[in-house]
Amino acid sequence: MRTFSALVKREALDGKNGYFYVPLILTGITLALVILSTLGLGNTFYLGNMENEGIHSLADAMNMAAEEDPQEMPAGMTLLYWMTTGLSWIAFPFVIFFSLLGALYEERRDRSILFWKSMPVSDWQEVLAKFFTPLIIAPLAFLGIVIAAQITIALYFSVLMLVQGGPAAALWPLGLMISSWFSFLVHYLLWMLWALPLLAWLLFVSSFAARMPFLWAILVPVVLVVVEGMFFNSNQIGSWIGLHMGAWQDGAYMSANYDIDGPRDILKVVMGGIQWQGLTYTLANLHFWFGLLVTGGFIAGAIHMRKRAV
């Protein structure tokens, strides 16, 4: 166990640019934009007919929102914090994609595999560490930085409210904020479980591609889909890939109540047990279990290819 933990730590340090610096830079840009906008160097809070409504500052907008519907205010602030830190999540899937695609390819390209093979560590441990590190460390790092950014924005808004005379206490719906963070983790876990065969495919490509692993990872599935469509007039492969990319949510959440009329209703959908409904659907779905078998096959193939690599 200590050996595997050391391998995960090494992979995390090797991938710190993607896992830590990318979300840190993106959230830094977001914070800078928020601050500049509230200082009057942008137009974020001056949209439409706000000045005619007597809104000349962020505090005016917050006071009006709190007066019109105070029950919506906590949910609205929670969603606002997520929207202001949403830039980071655009990069998240790309970090996962390229981390797995380069995991075994890079050590063969720079010949560092010769050094690592001389260490008393089995190939299966190396491969599993390279597979699970981006899937576990990356989301935790992204979420940790996003949480810090949301708290920083809340603190900054609180200072503005104290200066401008706005409702500072309404900016801290801590219960909803914490629940939303845990809801993210649960939904990410479901997404990851369904995406495991596709993610394992990236690692397998990384284990054998001599050059241009990106093309191997993309073109092989595309060719298979095209060949199936041309010769068998079907789209089973494409549908299977789409299912594991996210189409499973159509079946998992089709019975959910989406009667949305404000921020509270959005959070009720997101945090009202819908993830557990998705988990139940997942565990009862044969496509999911077959995907785990495919995942095991790709990982076994990656381990075998690494044993043969020199």
Instruction: Give me the number of domains the chain comprises.
Output: 1
The average pLDDT across 130-152 equals 93
pLDDT tops 90 at residue 193: yes
Distance CA 57, CA 222 (A): 52
- Of the ranges 76-80, 173-177, 200-204, the best mean pLDDT one: 200-204
What are the backbone dihedrals phi and psi of residue 180, each rounded to the nearest 5 degrees, phi first? -65, -35
pTM, entire model: 0.85
Segment among 4-13, 165-174, 218-227, 241-250 with least mean pLDDT: 165-174
The average pLDDT across 95-114 equals 86
Q: Which residues of 54-78 are buried (b: 16+ CB within 10 A; e: fewer)?
A: ebebbbbbbbebbeeeeebbbbbbb
Query: Which DSSP symbol is given to 53?
Result: G
Please tell me which residue, 96 or 124, carries the higher pLDDT value. Answer: 96
pLDDT of residue 258: 65
Distance of CA 123 to the CA centre of its chain: 28
Domain of residue 148, residue span: 2-308
Q: Which sign, positive or negative, has the C-alpha torsion 223, 227, 229, 230?
A: positive
The string of pLDDT tens digits covering residues 262-283 is: 676 677 777 766 777 888 888 8
Query: Which DSSP symbol is given to 283?
Result: H
Of 99, 104, 107, 105, residue with least CA distance to 138: 99
The string of pLDDT tens digits covering residues 231-261 is: 888 889 999 999 999 888 887 777 666 666 6
Distance CA 203, CA 262 (A): 42
Residues 76, 263 contacting (CB under 8 angstroms): yes
pLDDT tops 70 at residue 11: yes
The average pLDDT across 111-131 equals 81
The average pLDDT across 63-78 equals 73
Segment among 43-47, 82-86, 105-109, 205-209 with least mean pLDDT: 43-47
Compute the mean pLDDT over every residue in the chain, rounded to the nearest whole number.
83
